[in-house]
Structure 1
Amino acid sequence: MQLSVIIVSYNVRYFLEQCLLSVARAAQGMGTETWVVDNNSADGSVEMVCRRFPWVKVIANDDNPGFSVANNQALRKAAGKYCLLLNPDTLVEEDTFRRCYRFAEEHPDLGGLGVRMIDGSGRFLPESKRGLPTPWVAFTKAFGLARLFPRSRRFNHYHLGYLPEDETHQIEILAGAFMWMRTAALERVGLLDEAFFMYGEDIDLSYRLIQGGYHNYYFPGTSIIHYKGESTKRGSLNYVRVFYQAMVIFARKHFVGAGARWLVLMMQLAIYLRAFLTLLGNAWQRLRFPLVDAAGMYLGLGLLEQLWSAYHFGDTGYFPEYIYYLHFPGYTLLWTGSIFLGGGYDRPYDYGRLLSSLGIGTLLLLSIYGLLPEELRPSRALLVLGAAWAVGWTLLVRTLARWIDPAAGGPAADRRLLIVGRAGEAQRTLSLLQRAGTTAQFIGRVSPGTRAPRPEEETEEAIGSTERLVALSRLYRVEEIIFCSADLDIGDIQRWMRELGPRIQYRILPEASRSIIGSHRPDQRGTLYTIDVNLRIDDPVMRRGKWLLDRGLALLLLLTLPLNVWFVARPGNYLRNLLRILVAGASFVGYHPSDAERKLLPTLRPGILYPGVGSEITDAETLHHLNLLYARDYGLGEDVHLIAAHFRQLGGAPSAAG
C-alpha cells in the first residue's frame, strides 16, 4: 500500500463529498486506501459516505473527541507507506498524490510534506509554508507585525513570507489541511498529541519530525484548493480561544525557562487582544450598514431642514429645535427598523427588499405623523423629502460598498453568471439553482476545450471554449463562474482561478452531486447551493417573523386569557405553554417530535403543534417528509393555519427541540 488518506469530518457533508470525489481521481493508478473519521456529525455525512463512496473506510464516533484523537484512530489502522492527513474542505489535483509520492521517494530524509494551497478565490494561502513559533515569531504573529511586513525575514518567519511561493524549500511546520508524512517517521516520533483538541497539533507533530532527524518540505509542484473556514468559524471567539490556547500548550511542552514563560504570557495577552479585535470586527460586520444608514439619514434630515427653511420659508430658524431630538431620531429609527424587519440588512444588496422596506416605513411614519397633535407636526414635506433622501443615501452606501469590495456584491440574482462545462452538466447546474431558489443573470455556457467532446451532450450552443475563458469573462463582465467538475480537471480549475483573480466568485458543481460549492473569503464560511439545505425556514426574515408571531400572539392570548381559555383542553398547561413561548422557551409550531431525522433540518424551538398534528402517521419517512416540507415552504400563514385549526390542542406538551 503506497498511501493512506485520512480525513476527519464534522458537519461538512457537501464539502466532504466534493473532497472525496477529488481523492478518487487522484488515487487512480496508485495503491491507496481512504479513511473518513466522523466526529458525530448531525448532517448525514456518514450516511452519504457509505452510500456514495463504499470504498471508503469509515469510523463513526459517537461524540467529538477532537481532531488529534480522530486522526490517530485511523493512523493506528493505516497500512500505507505514506499517510496524508487531509481536511474535508479541500480539493486535490488529479496528479497531486503521484507528484507527492515521487518527490517523497526522491528525498529519503523527508518526514513531512506540504503543498501549495489556494483559497476559494484563487489566492495563495501563506500558511502553505510556516516557521517554528518561537517566542519572537509568536509575538510578531499575535500582534500583527507579520501582516504589516509580509516579506520580512525578521517579522514574518511565521509564514516564511520571504521565501518564494513557487520554489521548493525545507520548512519547519506543515499545514494541518494537507500533511503528507512518512509512516516510518510517525512510528519513530509518535502520532498526534491528543492534548491538542484542535489547532497546534500540526505544529507539534511537525516539530517532533524535525527533532527525530527528518526534514519537512514545502513542495509547490502541485496545488490544492482549501476552503478555509468550513471546519470552524475563524471569525469566532471560540476560534481565537482554542487557537491561542493550543499555542500555550505547545510552548509549555517544547520550551523551558524564560522563553517558555514569555511565550505563554504573550499568548495569554494575545487571547484578550484578539478576542477584543474579533468582537469589534464582528460588531462592525453586523452593524456597519445600520450605523452608516442611520448616520446618513439623520445628517441628511438636518441638511434638508436648513435648506427647506432657507429657501421655502426664508428663515433658517423656522422649525422648532425639538425636531432634532424628537422627530429626526424617530424618522431614522423607523426607517432603519423597517429595513431590519424587512430583511434589508440580512441581504444588503437586495435593492427591491430595501426599497419596499423604506416604502413601508415611510407609510407608517405618515400614518403616525397624521395622528400627532398639530404642534408636533412641523412639516409633511420635510418628511417626504427625508424619505427620498433615505432612499438615495442607502442606495449610494451599497453602491460604494460594492465598488470597494466587489466580492461582497449582492445576491446571486444580481451577479452575471458563466457556467463552464458541457451542455448536460450546465443544464443540471441551472436546474439546481432554480430548485434551490437561486437565480442569476445567466450569460452563457463555456465549453471545455481540453477534452474530446461528447456529441450527444452538445445540444446547446456554447458562447466559446475554455481556451478563451479569461477573455470571455472580461468581455461579459462576469461576476460568478460555476465550474462543472465532471467535465473539467481540478488542476485546470485552479489555473483559471489564479488567472482570473479574486474579483470573480467561483463555485464548483461536483460530479453527480446536488450541491454547488464555493468560498470567496478565508475568514467566512462558504456558499452552498443545494436543494437539500436551501430552506425558507432558514431565511433570517422568516425566522424573525416566526419569532414576532410567537411573542405577539402569546402576549395577546395572555391579555385575553379569560376569553380564550375556555376553548382549550387543558387550561393549566395552556397557561404554562403561553408563558414558555413568551420567554422564547417554546414555539407555537415546531417539528414533528417523532421524526428522528429532524436534527438534519435547521433548529427550531420545541413546538406545541407540529406538521401532521392530529394524524395517526407513524412511519419515519413520512414524518421526516412533513417536517422537510414545513421547513422548505415555510410561511407565517402556515403557522397561523395550524394554530387556528388546532387551537384546542395548545394545552399539550411541547414537542422535543428541533
Structure 2
Amino acid sequence: MQLSVIILNYNVRYFLELCVLSVENALKNIDSEIIVVDNNSQDGSCEMIKTRFPNVKLIQNNQNSGFPKGNNIGVAEAKGEYLCILNPDTVVAEDTFEKVLAFAKNKNDLGIVGVKLVDGTGNFLPESKRGIPTPWVAFTKIMSLYKIFPKSNLFNNYYAQHLSENQTGKVEILVGAFMFLKKELYQEVGGFDEDCFMYSDDIDLSYMVLQKGKSNYYFHETTVIHYKGESTNKDAVYMKRFQEAMEFFYKKHFQVSFLFSVFMKIGIVFFSMLKRVQGRAKTKIPPENYLLVSASKTLSEIISLVVQKKVDFLDWEAEKEVNLLSNSIRNGLHIILDNEFVSFKECIAIHERCKNKGVFFRIIPKNANFSIGSDSPNDRGEIVKLK
C-alpha cells in the first residue's frame, strides 16, 4: 500500500465529514487507506463515520489521549509506505496526494513534506513553513522582530521567510495539520513524543527528523484549507498547555541559562494570553448578500428559506470560471460553494482568488445537508443546517 492518511478527531463532527470526503476524492487513484482515530468525541463523530464512510478504519479511544498518542495509535495500524498526518479541520484538493507523492518520490533525503495552507478566508497561514524555534528565533517571534525586519536574515527565521509562500524549498519545521513522510522514518524517530500533550509535538517531530540527517520540505504546488480555529479552543487550558509545550521542547533539546528561561516563561505567558484574546468569539453581523455557486437553481431557493434572504445564483456548470465571480463580489457577500458541482480543488482556488475582498466562504459537502466554513483562523467555524 502506498499511503495511509491518519486523521485524529475530537468533537469536530461536521468538519471531519468535510475532511474525509475531500480525502476520499483525493485517494481514488492511489492504493491507500484512511484511518480516523477518535479521542472520545461526544458529538456523533463516530456514528457519522460508520454510516457515511464505512470503508474508513475507525479507532475509538475511550479518552482524549492527546495529539501525539492519538496519532501514534493510528500509525501503529497503518499499512502504507507513506503517512499523512492530517487535521480533521482541513480540506484537500483532488490532486493533493498525487502531487505530494510524486514530489516525495524524487527526494533521496526525504524527511517531512508540508504544503501551502490557507485559512477559511483564503489567506496564507505562515506556520505552513517555520524555522527551529531556538532561543534567539523564539525571541524574534515574541518581540515581533520578524514583522519589523521581514527581509533581514537575522530576524526572519521563525516563519522561514527565505521562502515565499509560492516557492518550494527546504525548511526546518512543519505544522501538524499536514505532515507527509515515510512510515519507516516516523517509526525510526519514535513518532510523536507522548510526553508532550500538544502544541510543540509537530516542532519536536520535525526537529527529530532533521537530527536523522533528513531534509524537510515546504511544497507550494498544492493548497489545503486549514480552518484552524476548530483545532484549538483558546481558553485557560490552552494557555497552560501552550506554555507547558514550549517548556517541554526547550528542556528536551536546548541548554539555556536560568535568566533566559525566566524571560521565555514571561514571553510564553504573554504570547499565550495574546492567543487567548485572538481566540475570543467576535460578534458576527448577519450577511446581507448570498451567492450560491452551483448548478442547482432549486438549492438556492432552499437556502433562501433557511437564511430568510434572497440567494443569488451562479450556474457553475455553465460558466465554470473563477474570474466570473469577480463581477458578483461585494463587501459582506457570503459565497456558498456546492461541492456537488464545484470540486474541492475549485473551492480552494475560489478561496484564494477572492481573498481580501470582503467576502466569506461556505462549502456544502456533496450529499450533505449543511454548509460549513470559518471567517477567521481564530474563531470557531459556522455550520448551517439546510434541512
Alignment TM-score, normalising by the size of structure 2: 0.93
**For the structure 1 residues 241 and 92, does the alpha-carbon distance in structure 2 shift closer, same or farther, using more than 3 Å as the test?**
same
Tell whether the 8 Å contact from 1:433 to 1:529 is kept in structure 2 after alignment. no
**Structure 2 stretches lacking a partner, 5+ long:** none
CA distance in 1, matches of 2:82, 2:233: 30
User: 1:273 corresponds to which residue?
Assistant: 270
Query: Is this contact kept in 2: 1:7–1:86, CA < 8 A?
Result: yes
Mapped partners of 2:179, 2:31: distance in 1: 18
How far 1:531 sits from its partner (Å)? 5.4
Shift in Å, 1:151 = 4.3
Q: Output the aligned Cα RMSD.
A: 2.2
- Aligned mates of 2:114, 2:322 — CA distance in 1: 31
Q: CA deviation at 1:111?
A: 1.4
- The corresponding residue for 2:179 is 179
How far 1:282 moved relative to its partner?
7.4
Pick one of 460, 481, 486 that aligns with 2:340: 486
Structure with more contact order per residue of length (Cα contacts < 8 Å, sep ≥ 6):
2
C-alpha deviation, 1:188, in angstroms: 1.8
The letter of the residue matching 1:446 is: L
Residue 52 of structure 1 deviates from its aligned partner by 0.3
Distance 2:27 2:277 in 1: 45
**Pairing 1:511–2:366 present:** yes
CA distance in 2, matches of 1:470, 1:114: 30
* Structure 2: distance between partners of 1:175 and 1:282: 19
Question: Is the CA contact (8 Å cut-off) linking 1:432 and 1:514 kept in structure 2?
Answer: no
- 1:115 partner letter: V
Match of residue 201 from structure 1: 201
Q: CA deviation at 1:433?
A: 6.1
Alpha-carbon distance between aligned partners in 2 of 1:95 and 1:187, rounded to the nearest angstrom = 27
Aligned to 2:354: 500
1:272-307 Cα shifts (integer Å, max 9, x gaps): 323554676678x77xxxxxxxxxxxxxxxxxxxxx
- Please give the residue correspondences for 1:264-343 in structure 2 after superposition, counting only pairs within 5 Å: 264-277=261-274
Contact 2:8-2:38 within 8 A present in 1 as well: yes
C-alpha distance in 1 between matches for 2:277 and 2:14: 31
Give distance in 1, aligned partners of 2:301 and 2:198: 38
* 1:19/1:143 CA distance change after superposition, 3 Å: same
Q: Deviations over 1:322-355 (max 9, x none)?
A: xxxxxxxxxxxxxxxxxxxxxxxxx6xxxxxxxx
**Per-residue Cα deviation, 1:434-466 (whole angstroms, up to 9, x for no partner):** 34xx33342x211225xxx7xxxxxxxxxx653
1:46 alignment partner, SS class: helix
Map 1:170-569 to 2 at 5 A: 170-234=170-234, 236-258=235-257, 261=258, 264-277=261-274, 410-412=285-287, 415-423=288-296, 427-428=298-299, 430-431=301-302, 434-435=305-306, 438-442=307-311, 444-449=312-317, 466=321, 468-474=323-329, 479-502=333-356, 503-530=358-385
User: Does structure 1 retain, via aligned residues, the 8 Å contact 2:22–2:92?
Assistant: yes
- Per the TM alignment, residue 253 of structure 1 is displaced from its structure 2 partner at its CA by 0.4
Does the CA-based 8 Å contact 1:5-1:35 persist in structure 2? yes
Partner-residue secondary structure (3-state), 1:196: coil
User: Residue 375 of structure 1 aligns with which residue?
Assistant: none
- Retained in 1: the 8 A contact 2:362–2:372? yes
Count of aligned positions? 386
- CA shift for structure 1 position 430: 4.6
1:623 aligns with none
C-alpha change, 1:262 and 1:249, in structure 2 (3 Å) is farther
The alpha-carbon distance between structure 1 residues 278 and 125, as it changes in their structure 2 partners (threshold 3 A), is closer
1:105/1:43 Cα in 2 relative to 1: closer, same or farther (>3 Å)?
same
Instruction: Please state how far the C-alpha of 1:154 moved relative to its aligned partner.
Output: 2.1
Specify the SS of the correspondent of 1:516: strand
Report which of the two structures shows the higher radius of gyration computed on alpha carbons: 1
Instruction: Kindly state the Cα deviation for residue 222 of structure 1 after the two structures are TM-superposed.
Output: 0.8
| Distance apart, 1:219 and its partner CA | 0.5
Q: Which has the higher helix share?
A: 1
Code of the aligned partner of 1:39 = N
Q: What's the TM-score, normalizing by structure 1?
A: 0.56
Closer/same/farther in 2, CA of residues 34 and 433 from structure 1, 3 Å limit: farther
Provide the rounded CA distance (Å) in 1 between the counterparts of 2:58 and 2:279: 37
Q: Counterpart of 1:76?
A: 76
State whether structure 2 residue 99 is matched by structure 1 residue 102: no
Structure 2 residue aligned with 1:132: 132
Query: How many Å apart are 1:152 and its aligned residue?
Result: 3.7
Distance 2:278 2:218 in 1: 33
**Correspondence list, 1:594-605, <5 A:** none
1:142 to 1:180, Cα distance in 2 relative to 1, 3 A:
same
